[in-house]
Chains A and B, each alone.
Chain A
């Protein structure tokens, strides 16, 4: 089946099997491999990306269901090599170890910021329910999200991640 969508601002089409997930599509067809597949069952959130401005787990969404959508992946966040404030915060707070969950964490963080403008530790922890990190114990991830959110408020950049 033909799937046409916009990824990080660029149009892309391909003929794929109907059973191909959006995560597989983004990784193997578009060859943007920053979106990862960790569990196949929407539990771990490593595959989180934004579809029409909303965070979704792309391992349980078929590519054909995203036909015509605007998709943003981790690769679409840094502008002209300049890191997004949330990416910068993850780096500065040692919020990643192996880095496998990180794209999903950052995409979820930006989505929670869209939904919950006033973040505190409890809200962040609650909103990370759908993202597993096996390395960090989450302490530095929570700090990074709060810090990245504060930085984004300073620059009023809360919606700038969507292309």
Chain B
């Protein structure tokens, strides 16, 4: 069995030698380069664009503006998951323009593009484009976007509201709060982030006039969908005339699923000019155009009975979507976020309102967790504050509220049914691993010595696996939830797997190979995995929402099983035995009764030559399965953070961190542990340092490089101890659940809870993210101001 083994990854052989093939590595003779001219204003009217200087710049081949896009009759970028108002009104849709025409709506909005014979000349040309603007009032503050006097991002709507999604039962919640023994209220802000994969976006396109085919090499996690968007909405090309290849991609985390405004222009110009062309973003451009994430402001209330049992939850969220709708944006706060808002707890009554708003900021899009970190933060902050206000230990209040194993499948008040879990067992493992009572004793001792120590927890579901296409369609999506795998056994017995997902660090190659190898009875080394090429891989919906293994892996499982059955039929026929008499061991089929054998390779050769097969059986060993998942799946985790605070500087130190995960059956424990660790680093980032800061008055971007947007470094990472339990998911034949987002979801909630725990006796009830030394120092100062004079 290869499933369950920590097998090493074949792709590492090229990546550690510097022989990866990333998009920016691709060069062609005579290649052109594009530089984009971007708005320096958050909101302004474009009065004029003077391209004369750019046209005259050495090396410049073409200068483009919105006028050229319109003259070419090109279309629009698309939002593939719109969310209408719950009352039936259509959402207020303003799509990202490839080129802003009359108005710019965020710093970084594309105004013009310059095509030239070198990167340097493209930049020179871009600098020579002179744009005259008339600045307009801008809104950069999410919490103010719906104020009556807020500047309007798109005046035609008369509001900054994109959509309003309401779920739950208002009457039931009002009754719950009316009868509550205790009510906790909080305002919770989820700080704006940027996914920041280390590889910046890069696109190379090349047109072959003989075939009338364009090839686009793209930093992307869903190449088939990208092809659809470009062909059907933006450039009106036949889909069979564009081939999208996503080769090695240097991280994505949801960010490289965005339909950036620059992509279509690269493809358009490759066709128009008949030359290979490239655009690679600088890191600053990433901040100006790559979709950002999170940015919620939430007012939440939780009602408890006298025993600390949750009676009701009321959530009112304003979620910024930026200046335009990116392709997936509305579904993140509108669909993903409400689904997990009640977390791991029995919550009899819920009312949630999400108002998605425009602000003069870069569009928001998916980023690891997508809605679930925001949900966990609200639910877990309210629960722990409630516990402390009621004098109940934070572990004890969870014991009283956690869903138990027997209650699954559990239909939550938001309407979602969660498949299987055992949260109380996970909590037991966690507090045992963390030596919780010992930690509390240490905390008391620390307090006696005048030191500040805090302990906080967070438990949550991570909805994953995309679910069936019908469910997606009902929630408004313009894309499917299925995944396609093609298993091909070659005449020499070697195997190729083609899967419509995309690997950009998750180790799909060895994971998929292990699944197929177990079904086919061969070595993983005999299997090659191909992803990320629309010309060779059947249509697939790509990698997002932790869906690759539970959906793509299930497709491989089914296709490999079908191939194995066909091969067994051939072997039985050739060996003259019954199928029941046949054993497959060590790459050979043996007829138990006669002890005659036929190797896997010999069966493959027979099938390939189409000779000596059972009557009626078709030759060749290829199977394509488009697997429609009957349901999504529900990984979950509980985290515990231990923090210490330096009372003079506000520097926060995470002393220890513990996680217990249930991501179902683990195919490769090395890779899954790596996903938890890597996800955790991004969670630490949101908790401690990452923040896309906009000036509240001007909506000017203040964090635009890695010098002012801090991401965690090696010395920022605390000791991490992780445990796993396996509750097999019922909705796929592998029993797997998503395994790559929990690490990111928990830390903001667990760490804020721990900090509030440390500062509780000083009167602190809430604190903003990220927990920079300044933020913590301000809280400490407030504590000193609160303290009675001695």
Contacts and interface: CB of A to CB of B under 8 A. Distances in A.
Interface string B710-721: 011111010010
Interface in B559-588: none
A122 B219 CA distance: 35
B708 to A, nearest CB: 10
Contacts of A102: 15-16
B16 A91 contact: yes
Interface string B661-697: 0000000001100100111111000000000000000
B714 A124 contact: yes
A103 interface: yes
A110 interface: no
Interface string A45-78: 0100000000000000000000000000111011
B705 A43 contact: yes
Given A33-B25, A43-B707, A99 B678 contact: no
A31 interface: yes
B702 interface: no
Contacts of A141: 714
Nearest to A91: B12
Contact of A139 (B196, B713, B717): B717
B639 to A, nearest CB: 14
A41 B705 contact: yes
B251 interface: yes
Interface in B1-57: 8-9, 11-13, 15-20, 22, 24-25, 27
Interface in A91-148: 91-92, 94, 96-103, 106, 124-126, 128-129, 131-142
A101 B670 CA distance: 19
B20 A34 contact: yes
B538 interface: no
A150 interface: no
Given A31-B27, A46-B198, A125-B714, A94 B674 contact: yes
A131 B707 CA distance: 13
B549 to A, nearest CB: 15
Contacts of B22: 33, 36, 100
Most chain A CB inside 10 Å of its own CB: which residue of B507, B670, B680, B715: B715
A139 B677 contact: yes
B249 interface: yes
B717 A33 contact: no
Contacts of A46: 198
User: Do most interface residues of chain A lie in helix, strand or loop, or is the interface mixed?
Assistant: loop
Contacts of A39: 283, 705-706
B705 A137 contact: no
Contacts of B711: 132, 134
B18 A137 contact: no
B505 interface: yes
A99 B505 contact: yes
B248 interface: yes
Given A34-B17, A137-B720, A27 B671 contact: no
Nearest to A124: B714
A134 B712 CA distance: 8
B151 interface: no
B251 A98 contact: yes
Given A38-B200, A39-B283, A132-B198, A99 B681 contact: no
B408 interface: no
B198 A129 contact: no
19 contacts: A19-B120, A24-B119, A27-B24, A28-B27, A36-B250, A39-B283, A40-B283, A41-B707, A43-B705, A73-B18, A91-B13, A97-B505, A98-B197, A98-B249, A106-B16, A124-B714, A128-B714, A132-B713, A137-B679
